[in-house]
Chain A
Amino acid sequence: MTPVFTILVPLVTAALVLLLRNSTLLMRVVALAGAVATLVLAVLLPGSRPFSAEWLPGFGVSFSVDGNGAASVLVFAVALMMIPALLVALTRVEKGAAGFAALLLAAEAGLAGIFMARDLIVFYVFWEATLVPGLLLLGLYGGEKRREATTKYLVYAVTGSFFMLVSILALKTLSGAASFDVIDLMLVTPDLSVATQTWLFVGLALGMAVKLPIWPLHSWLVDLNEQNHPSGAADVLGSLYKVGAFGFFAWGIPLLPAGASRVAPILIALAAVTALYGAFGAIGSKHLKRFLAYGSLSHMGIIGVGIFGMHLAGLNGAMYFLAAQMVSTGGLFLVGGMLYHRRRSFDLADYGGIAKSAPALAALGLLTIFAFIGVPGLSNFPGEFMSLMGAFQNAPWPAAIATLAVIAAGVYGVNLYQRVFQGPSDVRVKDLDGLEMYVLLPVVVGVLWFGVMSAPQMQRIEAQSQLTTLQLERVAASGASAPGALGLSAPPMGETLTLGGAK
């Protein structure tokens, strides 16, 4: 039941927080206790028993969740970052902090559901439902142009996901799968004709590309980050909510390997463009939040390159990078929120020389920026490196272009540190207070943990990546011999399709 509780605990906490909104102290304690409990559950996910219960038997839908595989790493990163986000939300949001916290917790439950779902409809349900807290956070607590940003976000997300729904519903009918369960689907969907797979994959890809996000479907992200609440807590959620890459990894490619193989060259090119575009966008930004939004867009491009390279190392690296960037990007948005708290501005021109008056803030800012740009030993490096390395095996040119973005990251990262913390101007601000230390503590732990201790988490991701490459090999093999060769026919396949959870 661990996976189920990982979804239920934050959800119940969200409801409690709303009920207790009038007693500030109790509400804060409950919210944080719920977040910590969720983190504990997330740590317990590896090796936990998958859960499945009938949900809509007439349609072959069961409520199946499994906390093993890539989900264990991603849910851990989400649960870890939710703690600083909540701390900031509870203290820095003046009006309606309880609502803010409840929306964050609801989104946490939804994200856990997206990552752990093992039934395609359940996956889609969480995918869509998680949109609502994000929209409300932006619309209720956002800046001046929040309504425009909300509309843009809604247009992109909903249009994309409805295409996805067409493909999902057609997938079962066309393949004749017994249910929407991932194993039932994976056994039969790769046998669909290449043309059918291509169209179905394009449908799925439209929905997932918006939330990867990939150029040219990315522009909602920058506006969302710019208009979100200045504390940065809502942006942490934004950096958690880039779930498109996971969709491709866990569903799109393994379900429709032949279709994915046909479309991948286009997608990997777009991802490489995204990586460069984001890097140049960051270099050209004068607004701190837009800067971070573009920088993280560049990361998502590299993740895309890792995914669409469709090589085992790249898939592992992309998922690891996805989890690691939740920590580094989210942490940097929180640092940005702390800067805003001091200067009431996101304009980079209003900063400079902060390191003199606030050495601790500058030191932690530097650490997070280094993690953000992929310095070895910190969180983003292992994933970034492996994404690109994997992509080089199958698609050297896009990988080479994306590598340029890594070089550019060094430029904009150091540039950012100089413009804010160093330089001739002498902006005097308060250093970190006790609360902010606690806010940044999980970020520092996460940045180091993902940077140094990559092996065990990478192994858990690999258990799932191997399924994806297995499906890809199956397609490659069926070109040469009859389906079912290589011992991949139905019964043994069913046994290999587990993520290493307790039997």
Chain B
Amino acid sequence: MVPFAGWEMPVQYEGVIQEHRAVREDAGAFDVSHMGEVEVEGPRARELLQRLLSNDLERIEPGAAQYTLLTNEAGGIVDDLIAYELDPFRFLLIVNASNRETDFAWLKEREVPGSDVRDVSDDYGLIAVQGPRALERLGLAHAPAFTFAEGEVAGVPCMVNRTGYTGEEGVELLVSAEDAGALWDAVVERGVTPCGLGARDSLRLEVCYPLHGNDIGPDTDAISAGLGWVCSLAKEFTGVDELRRIKDAGPERRLVAFVMQERAIPRQGMPILEGGEVTSGTHSPMLDRGIGMGYVPAVLADSGTELTIDVRGRRRKARVVRKPIYRREE
């Protein structure tokens, strides 16, 4: 167990690699109840969120969700989150555990009459069930990604969200805090492998989902991070002018994915000798190689470019690849 954002979290249950493989080949469960939930309600809730979040809520309707960013004046990323439209006047934001207080304070300070912002994190547990057999094991039908509906698993009522952080099909089950333990037990009884933070990190990195605090943060902008696709630059929101400028000028550096060409495991903070540094790194169980992401000068961002990672004083070759690093063979 390790401390994480004020919670005691398991790095692994049985082993990172077997948990990782379970998610790629069958189904794995993650207790992500530490994540924060913020509800924004009222006749002006949409207006408030449209001004503060980068993506355009007009693209979704009740029953749908979208990946979006809470941005600062410099176009930096206060947090990345998923916004769920519960009804036209009520939105649920599921945010990173480590940013729960920052996000809530950020939204609360900018609240307007007719938009009520509430931190409801303590009311809910969240259990992600991910993998090609996740739905089958839970007895759930397929549904489009980024939709949600009220439902139940093994008799436990929950909000069934078609979202995740592994690149696999699956759900994130939002459940009342008092039912979370029972839901976890029911999921595991159905043969879903319990997975810890270790596998969560290696799974998300294989599919190049950024981790706030590693790959993105208040000092990194969405365009350089490759998250321009969640920024609706046609609308007005915090930092949009700066993001438009960066997009027009072209970013000076870009967040790239790379695969090691020699035996070595890149880690966060290691220098990239051509410029920049590793923001996330691990061993990929699927590729059986070191993989990572990092910011490099934009001229070095094309796939195929060779990089040199300083692995504790040893120079090891890596190659820039297209994202995602891992793709299921169809």
A and B form one complex: no
